[in-house]
Amino acid sequence: MKPDRRGKASAASGTARHARAPQRVRIIGGRFKRTPLPVADAPGLRPTPDRVRETLFNWLAHLRPDPVALRGLDAFAGTGALGFELASRGAARVLMIERAAPLAAQLRAMRDKLGADGVDVRHGDALVLLRDLAARGERFDLVFLDPPFGAGLHAPALAAALPLLAPHGLVYVESDAAQDVLAASHGLLPVRALKAGQVHAQLFARAADRPAHGDDPPDGASDTHLPPPADH
C-alpha cells in the first residue's frame, strides 16, 4: 500500500482539492477491537491490508486457539497493526521493533493509550536487535516479518529471526513476491499462504513442526487469493 499523500485544503473556501483524510487502520478483534491506528505519511510505510490481517488471524486462531501464552515479535512494526492485533487477542508478550524514531514514539503512545502492558516497543535497527535478542536467548512463538518492499531485507531478516523461533513457532512473512525458496533454505515450510493484489502473505513453520494437512482451516484452503486491496 502506498504511503498516504494528503491534499491541501483551501482555508478560504474550507474545501479540499483532491484531499484525503489521514489514513488509518483498525484493530479487527479482541479487547482493543475497532481501535483506529494512525498511519503516518512516511516513505515506505505500508500497513498490512485489513483483509490480509483478518485472514492471518483466522489462521492463527485455528493453529493457536489459546493465545494467552503466546510471545510475539513484530520486527518491522510500522503502524503496529500486526503487533497490536496480537496483543488485542490476548498474547502474553508482544515486542515491536521500529527503526524510525517518530514511528516508535507513536507506537509507545498508542500502547500507553490502550493500556497494553504486555507490549514492549524498541527503537532501533531490526537486524541488529534481532541478533542481540538471539544472543541473549530470547524466544518467540510468533515472528512477524514485514519489511519495506524492495529494500532487500527479507533474506537477512529471516536469517536473523530464525534463532529466535521457539519450538513449534511460526514465522509470518509479507512481501511482494512469494518467499518459499528463501524459507526452504532455512528449513521452513509453508503452512498457509494468500495473495492479495501485489501482497504475498505466508505463514511458515519448521519442517518438523508443520501441521498435518488435515489441520487446514475450515474453509479448506491453505492458498487463498483475495482481490487487490483498495488504495485508501
Q: Please tell me the distance from the alpha carbon of residue 182 to that of residue 222, in angstroms, as a whole number.
A: 19
Nearest to 209 by CA among 190, 232, 185: 190
Q: Is residue 204 part of a domain?
A: yes
* pLDDT score at 153: 93
Residue 224 in this model has a pLDDT that exceeds 60? no
C-alpha cell at 5: 499523500
The average confidence (pLDDT) of the chain is 82
Residue 33 in this model has a pLDDT that exceeds 70? yes
Q: Is residue 25 part of a domain?
A: no
Dihedral sign from CA coordinates of 217, 91, 194, 48: positive
Dihedral sign from CA coordinates of 160, 161, 164, 168: negative
Dihedral sign from CA coordinates of 156, 161, 167, 171: negative
Number of structural domains the chain divides into: 1
Alpha carbon 67 to chain centroid distance?
A: 16
Q: Is residue 102 part of a domain?
A: yes
For the sheet with 223-226, list strands across it.
119-123, 93-98, 71-74, 140-145, 165-175, 199-206, 188-196, 223-226
Kindly state the average pLDDT of the residues 165-186.
Answer: 94
Q: Is residue 2 part of a domain?
A: no
Kindly state the average pLDDT of the residues 32-53.
Answer: 82
What residues are paired with 28 via a beta bridge?
none
C-alpha cell at 126: 531490526
Domain containing 188 equals 50-226
Residue 37 in this model has a pLDDT that exceeds 50? yes
Kindly state the average pLDDT of the residues 8-29.
Answer: 50
At residue 4, the 3 state secondary structure works out as: coil
Give the CATH number for residue 110.
3.40.50.150
Q: Is residue 192 part of a domain?
A: yes
Query: With bands split at pLDDT 50, 70 and 90, how would you rate the model's confidence at 43?
Result: low
What tens digit of pLDDT does each residue of 132-172 get?
Answer: 999 999 999 999 999 988 788 999 999 999 999 999 999 99
Q: Is residue 87 part of a domain?
A: yes
Residue 102 · residue 129 · CB < 8 Å: no
- The structure's pTM equals 0.81
C-alpha cell at 38: 494512525
- Angle 81-88/50-63 helices, nearest 10 degrees? 40
Q: Is residue 45 part of a domain?
A: no
C-alpha cell at 116: 497494553
Q: Is residue 12 part of a domain?
A: no
Residue 20 in this model has a pLDDT that exceeds 50? no
